[in-house]
Amino acid sequence: MAIHVRPFEGVVVVYPGRVSLARAVRLVHSASDWIRSRLAEARRSEEAFLRHAANGGRVARQHTMRRIETDCRAVSLRVSDGEIILRYPRGSDVDGPLMRSALWKGVIAACRTEAKAYLPNRVAALAKVHGFHCSGVALKNLRSRWGSCSSRGNINLNLRLMQLPDPLIDYVILHELVHTRIRHHGPEFWDALESIIPDARRLNAKLNSHRPFP
């Protein structure tokens, strides 16, 4: 059994079919203090994220948020021409979970659109300049990493890289390209990375201040 507490998703309890619902409920009650703590942390992550999703705010490289109060009956979302357009009924709770969830989905959709157009081409360009070979690039909504590299040389990149400055995007890409040759983070890895990016450790520290959701 496991309990997950995540921004915009709330509390999710996972348990196998052979375990009774009553036992799962007991687990939740026994972990109530931990759940409350994690919910508070998730809420802080949501607030930090949503500060960029104010009306007219820029939420990615090329997309801005536009919220429109209308006479519609339900929240609707459209991502088009560099805008995330969120329409919602008059009198809606703009800070409520329904609105937060819609904003989150809109921003992720915008990041996905931008990531598809930019990241694979950028990986190819940097690989060519520095003599690396990448087997493939996958774009994902990762929760705890900006990127990763598989044992087969496939690189996974977080869609939300599109919310970071260009130097940090390039740093993540080059970090993973070096991993196509050196799998660990030992001195050999850092020597190789710093031969390409002399200020790699400074960029790594800066990247940590932009970590994805816990």
The residues near 84 (Cβ < 8 Å, ≥ 6 apart) are 53, 59, 63, 64, 65, 66, 77, 78, 106, 107, 109, 110
Stronger pLDDT, 148 or 50, i.e. the higher one: 148
Name the band, by pLDDT with cuts 50, 70 and 90, for residue 212. Answer: low
Measured CA to CA in angstroms, residue 166 lies from 11, 73, 136, 188, 189 at distances of: 34, 40, 21, 26, 22
Would you state the pLDDT for residue 42?
Answer: 85
Q: Tell me if 61 sits within 8 A of 114, measured CB to CB.
A: yes
Stronger pLDDT, 46 or 54, i.e. the higher one: 46
Would you state the pLDDT for residue 140?
Answer: 94
What is the share, in percent, of the chain residues with pLDDT greater than 70?
96
Backbone angles phi, psi at 140, to 5 degrees: -140, 155
Name the band, by pLDDT with cuts 50, 70 and 90, for residue 52. Answer: low
- The whole-number average pLDDT for the span 171-189 is 96
Q: Residue 144: what residue type? A: S
Least reliable range by pLDDT among 13-22, 44-53, 104-113, 124-133: 44-53
Q: DSSP secondary-structure letter at 211?
A: -
Residue 20, classified by CB atoms within 10 Å of its CB into exposed (0-12), middle (13-18) or buried (19+), is: exposed
The mean predicted confidence, pLDDT, of the chain is: 90
Taking alpha carbons only, the member of 169, 164, 174, 173 closest to residue 194 is 174
Residue ranges of the chain assigned to CATH 3.30.2010.10: 117-208
Would you state the pLDDT for residue 115?
Answer: 97
Backbone angles phi, psi at 122, to 5 degrees: -70, -40
- The whole-number average pLDDT for the span 174-184 is 96
Residue 192 has pLDDT above 60, yes or no: yes
Name the band, by pLDDT with cuts 50, 70 and 90, for residue 58. Answer: confident
Would you state the pLDDT for residue 180?
Answer: 96
Half-sphere exposure of 1 (CA within 13 A, CB side): 16
**Nearest-angstrom CA–CA distance, 52 and 46:** 10
- The whole-number average pLDDT for the span 41-60 is 77
- What is 117-208's CATH number? 3.30.2010.10
- The whole-number average pLDDT for the span 162-176 is 96
Q: For the whole model, what pTM was predicted?
A: 0.81
What is the share, in percent, of the chain residues with pLDDT greater than 90?
60
**Nearest-angstrom CA–CA distance, 150 and 58:** 33
Name the band, by pLDDT with cuts 50, 70 and 90, for residue 214. Answer: very low
